[in-house]
Chains A and B, each alone.
Chain A
Amino acid sequence: MIKIINFLGTPSREKFSLFVPIGIFLFSLGLIDVTLNSLFDVNITSFFPRGLNYFTPLIFGFLGLYYLRIEFSGNKMLDKLNININSNWFNSILTLLIIFVLIQNIPPLLNWLIIDANFVGTTKKDCSDSGACWIFIKIWFPRLMYGLYPNAELWRINTSFIMLITLVVALFYIPIKLKKYLIIFLIFVFPFIMFNLIHGGNFGLVWVETTAWGGLSLTFIISVFALILCFPIGMFLALGRRSSAPVTRYASIGFIEFWRGVPLITVLFMASVMFPMFLPDGVYMDKLFRVIIAITLFEAAYMAEVIRGGLQALPRGQYDAAKSLGMGYWRLHLLVILPQALKLVIPGIANTFLALVKDTPLILVVGLLELVGMIDMAKTNPDWLGFATEGYVFAGILFWIICFNMSRYSQRLEEKYKTDR
């Protein structure tokens, strides 16, 4: 077979000017065939017998790439191309298949997403059938972001999040002396401020019941509160697991393994249905608070494992040196061990936070409407039936942007802190 293809001779550097144009021509022919076929439904190779029709672009492309496969051709671009996607026949076939699949699928997708989509309008009638109906998202956007929170009070949610972001950003730019105070403020004082702002009832703010909180803001409220609260609990659990006292150790292990062994859904059911039975008669705790407590305990177990990893990575010498200075257990840990361990596991903590954000959509099974729950509500509204795809694609894109950036950020953190040691 190779002999047939090689009637022009093997591709080699000497015959560069012969093979390269032929190769490029054949390759482009294959590409054009697929493009015309998928975009315009035009079949330029229809004169070939039936079955061969589907394979002609592949054959053309394969031949083209074969002719282009000149080792050490001297042309930098060609060499780079050859090493990367054309190193042998298997690779070239895979490359061709991938390119063809992309050509066949990306244009219709872009078509649906952007070109034929409807952006302008106010009712369902403004949506045409061929493209995505982004009007649906536009109209429901405030609900998707803020849930059923009253429109007049939205400034409270916005203020708390702007405050949070400014404080976290400031954490990186203020001098080290003030950092400690800022962290203490962030962990101990800010939650109260945020809670009061959003919940209302005090300081003259209108009370908004927790069943009205929803949308993406609820996702972040739960994530922020759970992260701040699960951190100290996780720390205690990690220390407890490493202690030599049997009671503390086994209690910590039991706690951690229990929460890590059960799915989050059962934990949420436990919080919404079982937990009220454990409260004294007549005492009622709001469902959102119960859910936040449940999620906090759940994440604390994972956080404990992450922190334990950091504690284990510290050399024994640190413990010995601190003890030789006469430090007791708590002083040793607070001043020497924990600062170093926590610095090691900052990427792990970022990962836990990322997992927390990805787990929050589950709360819709207990009736709290965060972003995905609000989309469910929007898509079953009688005026807007049939836009499930647009809703989920929008939520997917939104979550993807948030999570992707967070994971990139945690990777950067990992690199930054790795060089310190």
Chain B
Amino acid sequence: MLKYLKQLTSLVAVIAVLFAFTTESMAAKKSKTLKNTIKKGFVRCGVSQGLPGFSNADASGNWTGVDVDVCRAVAAAVLGDASKVKFTPLSAKERFTALTAGEIDILSRNTTWTLSRDADIGLTFVGVNFYDGQGFMVRKSSGITSTSDFKSGLSACVNIGTTTELNMRDFFTANGITYEPVVFEKADEVVAAYDSGRCDTYTTDKSGLAAQRTKLSNPDDHIVLPETISKEPLGPVVRQGDAVWEDIVRWSLNIMIEAEEYGINSSNADAMKTSENPQIKRLVGAEGELGAALGLDNDWSLRIIKQVGNYGESYKRNISDTGILPDRGPNELWTKGGILYVPPAR
């Protein structure tokens, strides 16, 4: 009888422990990246090697830009402090392998979302933070005012391994122009080659053209041609296979956009807690359990809006006010004529 009782107790004990473990693990959302990030205490963010307006370091090593703000939003959401980010500058060659290898957890480097990149190399694009297109830059003195003025024999400077390289080929072939591609790895080398006259035109995303123009010896001597020859939706990328981390990054970006839609910004976010609109209350965490769905606490969205700002604030601070692109173009809310339309956070 005693033996029977002992076996029963041990069985109950084992079942209890198993149950505790499973509920414990079911409660904590399974995400290796999230666990590592919390353990390390900072978000590892891959950025460019210096693109004003998107990710650029000043002399003291502070990084600013709209891509930088995406990572800071994730840090605010996950770790509570938007400054807990470590930035790794990457060239176009190593950006994807750094992500797949685990050197960084988010790649926020004005990367174009394409099918082959999304499906073929083990990465997932989680949104678009800048809608852009590819354009050309030429010297004003050349007299070229539109891409229809291009003639065969042109030489074009471009970055290696980018969608720009492929789109350029498509464009020139479609228009029957023979051209000479001059490909460099570093964006700085591309700009220097164009500046010296080695190439007649420089092509990349139009936002990149506007930003790199500040690095030329005489920025006013150059113009960006009006035509846009491709779609370049730029957005953050994460590793495939970690669904929770994907959701966190995706919805951190979406929160920033939706906050602007509802008029919440960094200064009035706290005041909005007492708003009449239930969606606004959900966005600042005063109502609902949105945080738990992602494995975060409920103040995650409030922290993002307070510490980083909404999308409009980020854009204004980094791109409009610095004179790179005064106009928001397609990067305006859908309610105001642009194409920023994100799923609702509810």
Contact = CB atoms under 8 A, between A and B. Distances in A.
A91 interface: no
Given A282-B102, A367-B91, A380 B97 contact: no
A385 B217 contact: yes
A209 B86 CA distance: 10
Given A284-B103, A287-B103, A376-B188, A272 B88 contact: no
Interface in A365-385: 365-367, 376-377, 380, 382, 385
A277 interface: yes
Interface in A288-346: none
A277 B103 CA distance: 12
A386 B216 CA distance: 10
Contact of A367 (B90, B101, B192): B90
Contacts of B195: 385
B115 to A, nearest CB: 22
B220 to A, nearest CB: 14
Contact of B215 (A282, A366, A380): A380
B103 A386 contact: no
B94 interface: yes
B191 interface: yes
Contacts of A382: 214-215
A276 interface: yes
B103 A273 contact: no
Given A382-B215, A386-B217, A367 B103 contact: no
B32 interface: yes
Contacts of B102: 276, 282-284
A360 B185 CA distance: 19
B83 interface: no
B interface residue count range (under 10 / 10 to 19 / 20 to 34 / 35 or more): 20 to 34
Contact of B32 (A148, A282, A287): A282
A380 B86 contact: no
Given A282-B32, A380-B215, A386-B217, A276 B100 contact: yes
A211 interface: yes
Interface string B170-199: 000000000000000110110110010000
A382 B89 CA distance: 18
Nearest to B96: A273
Contact of A273 (B32, B94, B192): B94
Contacts of B188: 376-377, 380
B191 A380 contact: yes
Given A211-B89, A376-B189, 5 more contacts: A282-B32, A367-B89, A380-B189, A380-B191, A386-B217
A391 to B, nearest CB: 12
Q: Which of B90, B91, B97, B214 has the most CB of A within 10 A?
A: B97
Nearest to A272: B94
Contacts of A148: 61
Q: Which of B89, B100, B186, B217 has the most CB of A within 10 A?
A: B186
A273 B100 CA distance: 10
Interface in B193-217: 195, 214-215, 217
Interface of A: 148, 209, 211, 272-273, 276-277, 279, 282-284, 287, 365-367, 376-377, 380, 382, 385-386
A172 B195 CA distance: 53
B100 A365 contact: no
B101 A276 contact: yes
8 contacts: A148-B61, A209-B86, A211-B88, A276-B101, A282-B102, A284-B101, A380-B188, A382-B215
A287 B97 CA distance: 12
B94 A366 contact: yes
A283 B32 CA distance: 12
A148 B217 CA distance: 25
B214 to A, nearest CB: 6
Contacts of B103: 276, 284, 287
Contacts of A282: 32, 36, 102
Closest 3 pairs between A and B when the two form their complex, measured CB to CB: A276-B101, A380-B188, A284-B102
A100 B217 CA distance: 39
Contacts of A367: 89-91, 94
A277 B217 contact: no
Nearest to A381: B215
A380 to B, nearest CB: 4
Interface in B66-109: 86, 88-91, 93-94, 97, 100-103
A365 B185 contact: yes
Contacts of A276: 97, 100-103
A74 B192 CA distance: 63
Nearest to A273: B97
Nearest to B33: A282
Contacts of B101: 276-277, 279, 284
Contacts of A366: 94
B94 A380 contact: no
B116 to A, nearest CB: 18
A322 B94 CA distance: 54
Contacts of A273: 93-94, 97
Contacts of B88: 211
A365 B93 CA distance: 10
B32 A380 contact: no
B214 A272 contact: no
Nearest to A212: B61
A380 B86 CA distance: 24
Contacts of A284: 101-103
B99 to A, nearest CB: 10
A272 B89 CA distance: 14
Nearest to B91: A367
B212 to A, nearest CB: 10
Contact of A272 (B36, B97, B192): B97
